[in-house]
Amino acid sequence: MRLKLKLVLALFCCTFVLLSPWLDIFVSNFFFTKGSFSRSDFYLFIRSSANFGSNVLLYSSIFSIIASFWYKNLRKYHLGFFLILLVPIISYQLLHKPIKNNWGRPRPINIKEFGGEVKFQPFYKPMFITSKDKTSYNSFPSSHCAKSFEVAILIVIGCIYRNYYVLYCGIFFTVFYGGLQAIASIATGRHFLSDTIFPLVLTLIVASFVYYLAVFAIKTLEPNVKNTTKTDFPLT
């Protein structure tokens, strides 16, 4: 079952990459009306609230870790809190920012198809232009979506603990909150569709990798830990 799922995901990713140039232009063109992209106050408000979800997760995690010194039931969720604290550092600070600052992809508002002066560039063809105006050539990936899609960490945590409430909350907020941010970014001409999807994929990959790394470290450093069973690490 897992192999079939991986094959389906791999096929989906390959198909998306091949179709992404057409999809990027098609979706952006949907919001390009009367010679300009939207300047709706609603979209601008959504973009200004990009950090809200990640901040709620961050402060809730810190508070829960402190509270676990008094409430022992919270201690079994330490790995989840650890993911919430560490994954954004790796995915956003160590991976996202270097890619964004050096990839060199022009924004929708800057390409010829939408009244700009530069040629459209697919996300998989980086130009690595660092001498140009960074606000015009740092479309890939979307920083606003990267912060909004950090709520997707809850999906991984829900799978780890087999907690369907956390899992479904993660899916809901990822689709609703992260999805709204993606729509706002495209509608205002700041990003293409592929710019908004990449941060979500990156967050899920990093969260899963950190989890497996933590499991490996625990099993290697403490092979005889008591009360450690297969159910403690359901994704292994």
What pLDDT does 130 receive? 62
**Tens-digit pLDDT profile for residues 48-81:** 999 998 899 999 999 998 998 888 888 888 888 8
What pLDDT does 135 receive? 63
Ranges of each domain in the chain: 48-232
Cα–Cα distances in Å, from 6 out to 69, 110, 160, 202, 235?
Answer: 39, 37, 18, 16, 14
233 band by pLDDT with thresholds 50, 70 and 90: very low
CATH code reported for the domain at 48-232: 1.20.144
| Tokens standing for residue 210 | 């950190």
Mean pLDDT (whole number) for 203-207: 89
Q: At what angle do helices 153-160 and 78-88 cross, to 10 degrees?
A: 150
Q: H or E segment at 10?
A: helix 2-31
Ramachandran assignment for 35, one of left (phi > 0), alpha (psi -120 to 50 degrees), beta (any other):
left
Q: What is the pTM of this model?
A: 0.85
**Tens-digit pLDDT profile for residues 108-127:** 999 989 988 889 999 998 88
Mean pLDDT (whole number) for 224-229: 44
Question: For the chain, how far is it from start to end, CA to CA, in angstroms?
Answer: 14
Ramachandran assignment for 203, one of left (phi > 0), alpha (psi -120 to 50 degrees), beta (any other):
alpha
Contact indicator for 100, 141 with CB cutoff of 8 Å: yes
Least confident range from 99-113, 163-177, 178-192, 202-216: namely 202-216
pLDDT tops 50 at residue 226: no
Contact indicator for 203, 153 with CB cutoff of 8 Å: yes
How far apart are alpha carbons 67 and 182 in whole angstroms?
34
Q: Which range is most confident: 66-70, 81-85, 187-191?
A: 187-191
pLDDT tops 50 at residue 189: yes
Rg of the chain, C-alpha, whole Å = 20
pLDDT tops 70 at residue 19: yes
